[in-house]
Amino acid sequence: MSEHPAHPALDAARLHCRSLEEALGRFRRHGLGRIADWGGLLADVLTGGGRLLAAGNGGSAAQAQHLTAELVGRYRRERRAYSALALHAETSSVTAIGNDYGFDHVYARQVTAHGRPGDILMLLSTSGRSANLVAAAVTARQAGLRVWALTGRGPNPLAEAAHEALCVDADSTANVQEIHLVAVHLLCECFDTAVSTPLARRTVLTHGSTP
């Protein structure tokens, strides 16, 4: 008799954790610089009176709302509130636009309504192929917003439609979402650090020079 009998559920959990660790390692090597840059740029925009719009579908919608909540509320330290809207949370707008214009337009039309030149639109998608997010990215660029995308493996249509994208190299949708949550928290960490850093020093660090 085997000393360690087969345990399919435990084996599946271990495999999931191993895949997540590998994906996190790749993210640490290739994604942290971009997140740090985004945190600094987001600080410049929001402290200057700009706004962050965010959107996603399903689990990615929940993560988009998580991000905006951290900015309007707080992440770790006490600071002023900043303007950030999760577009999917506007349920009456989403359902009205979806009913009248189709689901592909539920975010693009809100970008037209709320976005201003210089604002940032953050779009989250595990596949990078959601038509409503791609349409929002195209509309935002035409309106003068800066578009960032958090996606799964690239290349994909959303990454190509955005100004900048962070494409997570992971084996499953669940792992992509887990890394996206790490990215959201790190973006908030970098944002708070940038907000508390004098602008001249922040500009030097953003350009990669030695302080």
What pLDDT was estimated at residue 5?
65
Nearest to 126 by CA among 156, 96, 162: 156
| Whole-number Å distance between alpha carbons of 95 and 175 | 30
Residue 10: the pLDDT is 92
Do the beta carbons of residue 136 and residue 152 sit within 8 Å? no
pLDDT in tens, 117-143: 999 999 999 999 999 999 999 999 999
What integer pLDDT is reported at residue 4 of this predicted model? 58
From 183, 182, 103, select the one nearest 149 (Cα to Cα).
183
pLDDT at position 211: 34
Longest dimension (CA), the chain: 69
What is the C-alpha separation between 192 and 205, in angstroms, rounded?
Answer: 15
pLDDT in tens, 158-211: 999 999 999 999 989 999 999 999 999 999 999 999 999 766 444 544 444 333
Look over the chain and give the mean of its residue pLDDT values, rounded to a whole number: 92
Q: Residue 121 has which token pair?
A: 């639109």
Please name which of 145, 143, 148 lies closest in space to residue 133, comparing C-alpha atoms. Answer: 148
Backbone angles phi, psi at 166, to 5 degrees: -115, 105
Nearest to 109 by CA among 87, 131, 80: 87
Q: Phi/psi at 168 (nearest 5 deg)?
A: -85, 125
Neighbouring C-alpha atoms within 13 Å toward the C-beta of 188:
25
Rounded (5°) CA angle 208-81-92: 110
Q: pTM for the full model?
A: 0.88
Helix (H) or strand (E) holding 159: helix 157-161
Strands 164-167 and 146-151 turn out to be parallel
In this structure, the chain runs to a length of 211
* Domains of the chain: residue spans and CATH: 10-206 (3.40.50.10490)
